[in-house]
Structure 1
């Protein structure tokens, strides 16, 4: 609760600095997109110093009207604080509005909107009728999708926590522009260099190379040239620019987080949140009710407060951690089920009656597995939410922020593992442990593990990421806006049938708001989680899917206005609350940034063919020993990367492959497979060649060099970018100095006034005694 403190205005040089900072207050850096504060005159606040409100210092505050001294959001927060802690039954431990809501004494409790968001009169000619109307016209309406967000007005209407969310979302969306452009250039580079790619040329021309079947019974022998299209598609994502883009995205994530800290500091200063500490976050009523009999002195406030014993706290944490570990095992079991499905289905599709499916059995297997995986993800998310809520309440967090952080960490961990586990399997395990023809590793000693496509595993990873990302964002957008729209439409339809067409106009504001959809009980959790998971998709496997930032940008431009429309028109007004940052989400973002460096290093080294091609160009190709590697140096790479297998050496479970094995009427005696192994007639049949060990050493060396280089760059950038802008730091120091001066002058003025009053009283008393 903060209000104007003293009447002194800030110096003129600070106003100029504010103008410089204001240019960053949107997500598109163009002046025509700037929000016009003159639309609502009372939005402009006096440039006065502010401080936390205290009744003991009320004489320092400017109070023109006590009814409007606190804004609407602050008054709602005060009322909610009182209702949360009032006892409604004496002598018993029954208190708080939440308990009355949980036992159905009340149906709901929410702050009211400030009126309708529609108006018959134009906002340009008659002005805004209220803040809600202004927010709709200048922010939530789809026609202003390209304009700045009015963050100050959002904060005044919805509170600092929601204001910070939209500030972060706008900043993230703005930072996606360079990432999307670079990713698009990498993709276009793959398109422009496609005709000059020696590897894809050799694959398309390899009509004489026969590939071994990818499954036991129904998969046929295929010519390598049959995978020409997949080789070309793979080159679009796996080309020379991939490494550069992976480094760029790692640096981009660091720059994004470092500059967000600076942006957050500016907002925290402008919104009087610099000195807001966790101690101002109130104890949860549930914690007070549970531990009201145990109290100890708060070392900061010096007041008694409920206390949770050490043994009780950590025993609850152990039980909660065990529950988290069990749920992660459930995710792993679900992924194992997907793996079994892929292993079994590839044979089924290979024997399919439809030629299109039969000839593309691996792609069909990957596509259907991704769709099934997405359905499992959505079903398990419902279970995870209930388990996370149960475990968090079991821990009995002390404050609301601690409850939110604990619940957030559990839900993010569950959903991150649930969403990305199959992607990790495809990226790092698919085709790595299958063995070789004649000595396949089998699942439950029956099914041969799935192999990569002849053109590589990257096409499977791209399909996994693309399908999951599009389906997830489409589903989230429907649930965020489509579902509330349908629910509100049904409510209006029911009201029209019950009360007639003109009934809505006669409803009071509280009933109009009651007919809207309530905000999610976890607040902004779903909004943040959706964006954080998207951030993970954008950075963790970006080396395999450079178009991820572009898809994220398109989605977020829609997401900002979609969320705005939802908050202003479809949802009841949420309870305004304070926050000085985005909480635990920042730490999660930093963790994702570190994980992205590691995963991209492994994707480039293990999943893509970048390292094998590099080793061939410098060591085994036509340019070996010349210190250069171009497309001309890649001649013969495809043949060198494929090993030869004698068909008669297939093991018993694959014996059906040798019976009448023909391709276009010719008997197949030898087939090829992706590996570096000796010839069947060599001294050590099917043993690893020297090229295999060179490639393995190069992969390990690349991972180490890439990670150390990128982490060094990230650390240097984080060190060079200060958390506070210099002009903001100067403003804060200047304001602190002026406040001390004014406090000193105000205290002297008060003491002088008291002295004069005492002197005046003495003189009056003296005159009475001696008329």
Structure 2
């Protein structure tokens, strides 16, 4: 069941919907046989209330009340006399061209023609009565009366009485209840603006087109008369026809494929090995109590072989609720609302405000209120929404496996694939999460036994001041705790874990593609390709003939879009520059605050406090800029005026992902690859804005990088979960507390469709895009910099376990039900994950080689019999500054690989060579493993490929059999006739 909400529905919409019109006429005691709906257009001028409104269009629609059918439609243009040239405002408002009125007769002649038509429908001898109707009082009371006086013709007696449909509509009550596949929910909002008439006409044509196509229209009014619901029921045969057009796959009867049942999809060795490690094989109690679909063969539905499909005899079972809603939505997108080829589809009516919302109704309440005697429909206490809520949509169900088939049936394949991907991703994080936690525990258990950490804690090194003025010298032992803590994440096990994660990313993507193929086969969308239509927001400036169809269509020149894309690119560059400026500002903050704190605290404390507060500031900046740029990216993409939805989504995704990526990782890249690399040495420091450059702490930048990653990644997850989980509940609680008592009583009496419109939020315009983006950025954090934060997979695992249920809860209780849509895969996000996977090899290699202390330690061990004795003397050399030149920086130690005279020595160059060598070896080995696994693991399992071919074979057999039967019937009929 669908809802379409009209923000500006005139009662003429009811008139064009026929059923409601006839109801209104009887409701008001007008025992009419025919109703004539009139909707004048008149000359007008912007911001001129005294402008004479001459009638220039006299349209009428005559309806047979008893048959509920339109029996005649006429449209007459009138040539204006006082202002024969239409104003640009009038032409734009009414859509009437100058040549149309120039060739028309004047009003008196047109009136005679109209009266001749009306006389046919008001025969007193036949007992026929004609009732005039208009949208409000303006047509007859204002426009018509003035026009008659101005044209010096008497107003016919028939025109002195009319039905004000707007007033009648407001008095509308009650309605017929029945189950339907569509619901047109129309909100009556009065307006004196004549431009409303244009939208009224579109709505009327649209609703009449639905009826002409075979839909059954029924109405319901809300108790206060403010909401009108038009239920649009799609008969079973109409759904079957649409299923054939849309190439919906349906299950074949068992007897049609009995000889091939043993050939259903079998798992390959790789899949069986992967699944054998799954706890799902052993934790059967964690399976939701939902009936699973049996294995079967499917084929594209065809009317000619309809008897070959399972449940074809049962209208309620043949289509799922999601399929029904999807099929009707597809039909709605092709229904015309005007004479032009471009005036097609509910999407355009939503865009231009003719309808304000479109959503299918939920199957029923997710909870049964014992005080509600009639929730949704009687006997509907068990519904898919309630089932999903009880087995999937609550936080307490975090460790219950997801009922993917039921999710797909209820919400459609596109949303089903999101939850399947998120579930697969979460399950794939199980091993990395556990290993990462073990790596952390290993560092936590051994950090006190490290030789260099012991030397730091027992050293008597006096360290140089952290700033040039106002800072005191400090002792290296003050950095003891933080130096030891750096071993929690910067140790030998981290290197192996980074290698594992780089390979894991590829394995995960490869196995997901296989899982995607299996789901595509099971859900009959493996070969699905959406037929693209023009976006309703697309604005064509010219017309050209389509080389394929030969029809005239709207066209937007490519060079104009290219110019706009250049403008968008320039704006993106500016916004990325803003991100760099923010990062630079945080760097200045680090320098200034560290210098200020160093004058009051020891050097280690100053560095730690600066790192934490800078991380929090970065997090706040990231969250704020994501909100700002998200809106800007939508505006820029809208401005580019893309014709197809895929082009629009691709452009928007690339913009938002690029910005979010830079916004999220800019500060991390700075700490990992630039901070402390160009600071100089005592006596020759490199300065920035008069300050010494941002330096790494005495224990290196690795721990600071870990702190930054933890704050940004975990902090974002916490903020997102709080907003997603608590905000809707808090807002509902506030509304309930603040609402007056009478409003609360009214809320208990709301019809289900009213309740969903008033109390549920509209489904986001961009669907699951924000959720995908959130998870992909998380994938980036745990892939690109796992070498610096081994707990990233563990925190991602915990977050995702909650995320699945939070997203499920939102879909079931917070949002209106989204349209069910089909999709073959998760779209561009597969490519984004592949990019991150390859890029992570470089970033992890660089972090280990140039940010970690692993390489310098190993080089020292190699040169000194496997020990780290004397290592801290090499990394904390004595300042070369002469006491006579600068006593504050003389006879003190600093962090850097230099000789006693401040120059780069042999150890520095050995470390550089080792770092480069490690990077090359690491990168080559990881890429070799990636390519090897890609070769070993094909994207589509061979069993799926064979199963698809078998389905095609069965479909051909069924079709050939149907054709043979048809030929045999034809021959038999011919013989009988002969």
TM-score past 0.5 threshold: yes
Is 1:707 equivalent to 2:923 in the alignment? yes
Between the aligned partners of 2:515 and 2:342, the Cα distance in structure 1 is 44
Between the aligned partners of 1:397 and 1:281, the Cα distance in structure 2 is 12
Q: How does 1:185-204 map to 2 (within 5 A)?
A: 185-204=438-457
Is 1:567 equivalent to 2:815 in the alignment? no
Between the aligned partners of 2:958 and 2:551, the Cα distance in structure 1 is 31
Q: Unaligned regions of 5+ residues in structure 1, if any?
A: 624-628, 662-667, 680-684, 763-771
Q: 2:679·2:686 contact (CA, 8 Å) conserved in 1? A: yes
Is 1:317 equivalent to 2:558 in the alignment? no
Q: How does 1:345-360 map to 2 (within 5 A)?
A: 345-352=593-600, 360=605
Between the aligned partners of 1:102 and 1:649, the Cα distance in structure 2 is 76
The 3 A distance-change label for structure 1 pair 94 and 344 is farther
Corresponding residue number in structure 2 for 1:767? none
Between the aligned partners of 1:728 and 1:649, the Cα distance in structure 2 is 78
The 3 A distance-change label for structure 1 pair 6 and 27 is same
The 3 A distance-change label for structure 1 pair 744 and 108 is closer
Q: 1:438·1:650 contact (CA, 8 Å) conserved in 2? A: no
Q: CA deviation at 1:340?
A: 1.2
Between the aligned partners of 2:495 and 2:611, the Cα distance in structure 1 is 26
Which structure has the higher relative contact order (CA within 8 Å, separation 6+)? 1
Q: CA deviation at 1:322?
A: 2.6
Q: CA deviation at 1:276?
A: 0.7
Q: TM-score, normalised by structure 1?
A: 0.87
**Aligned with residue 469 of structure 2, among 193, 197, 217:** 217
Corresponding residue number in structure 2 for 1:766? none
Is 1:237 equivalent to 2:489 in the alignment? yes
Corresponding residue number in structure 2 for 1:768? none
Structure with greater helix share of residues: 1
Q: What SS is found at the alignment partner of 2:894?
A: strand
Q: What SS is found at the alignment partner of 1:4?
A: strand
Corresponding residue number in structure 2 for 1:335? 583
Q: How does 1:119-130 map to 2 (within 5 A)?
A: 119=368, 129-130=382-383
The 3 A distance-change label for structure 1 pair 293 and 419 is same
The 3 A distance-change label for structure 1 pair 730 and 54 is closer
Between the aligned partners of 1:306 and 1:92, the Cα distance in structure 2 is 10
Between the aligned partners of 1:315 and 1:171, the Cα distance in structure 2 is 42
Q: 1:431·1:449 contact (CA, 8 Å) conserved in 2? A: yes
Q: TM-score, normalised by structure 2?
A: 0.69
Between the aligned partners of 2:785 and 2:268, the Cα distance in structure 1 is 39
Q: What SS is found at the alignment partner of 2:807?
A: helix
**Aligned with residue 512 of structure 1, among 752, 755, 764:** 755
The farther-off stretch of 731-740 and 338-347 is 731-740
Between the aligned partners of 1:558 and 1:607, the Cα distance in structure 2 is 33
Q: CA deviation at 1:274?
A: 1.4
Corresponding residue number in structure 2 for 1:366? 611
Between the aligned partners of 2:295 and 2:892, the Cα distance in structure 1 is 81
The 3 A distance-change label for structure 1 pair 460 and 282 is same
Is 1:553 equivalent to 2:797 in the alignment? yes
Corresponding residue number in structure 2 for 1:256? 508
Q: What SS is found at the alignment partner of 2:467?
A: coil
Q: 1:488·1:570 contact (CA, 8 Å) conserved in 2? A: no
Corresponding residue number in structure 2 for 1:665? none
Is 1:4 equivalent to 2:250 in the alignment? yes
The farther-off stretch of 4-13 and 237-246 is 4-13
Q: CA deviation at 1:302?
A: 8.4
Corresponding residue number in structure 1 for 2:977? 761
Q: What SS is found at the alignment partner of 2:648?
A: helix
Corresponding residue number in structure 2 for 1:729? 945
**Aligned with residue 184 of structure 1, among 404, 423, 437:** 437
Between the aligned partners of 1:321 and 1:70, the Cα distance in structure 2 is 46
Corresponding residue number in structure 2 for 1:414? 659
The farther-off stretch of 128-137 and 737-746 is 737-746
Q: What SS is found at the alignment partner of 2:893?
A: strand
Q: Deviations over 1:597-636 (max 9, x none)?
A: 10110100100111111111112x2x1xxxxx4xxx1111
Q: Deviations over 1:230-284 (max 9, x none)?
A: 1110011111112111110001101100000000000001111012114x24332
Between the aligned partners of 1:158 and 1:264, the Cα distance in structure 2 is 17
The 3 A distance-change label for structure 1 pair 761 and 95 is closer
Aligned residues: 715
Between the aligned partners of 2:832 and 2:305, the Cα distance in structure 1 is 40
Q: Unaligned regions of 5+ residues in structure 2, if any?
A: 1-245, 371-378
Q: Deviations over 1:619-667 (max 9, x none)?
A: 2x2x1xxxxx4xxx1111111222211454697xxx5xx3xx5xxxxxx
**Aligned with residue 712 of structure 2, among 455, 468, 483:** 468
The 3 A distance-change label for structure 1 pair 16 and 394 is closer
Between the aligned partners of 1:292 and 1:736, the Cα distance in structure 2 is 44
Q: 2:252·2:309 contact (CA, 8 Å) conserved in 1? A: yes
The farther-off stretch of 528-537 and 80-89 is 80-89
The farther-off stretch of 388-397 and 423-432 is 388-397
The farther-off stretch of 527-536 and 635-644 is 635-644
The 3 A distance-change label for structure 1 pair 561 and 245 is same
Is 1:743 equivalent to 2:959 in the alignment? yes
Q: Deviations over 1:185-243 (max 9, x none)?
A: 1112112222321111111111x211111212233211111111011100111111121
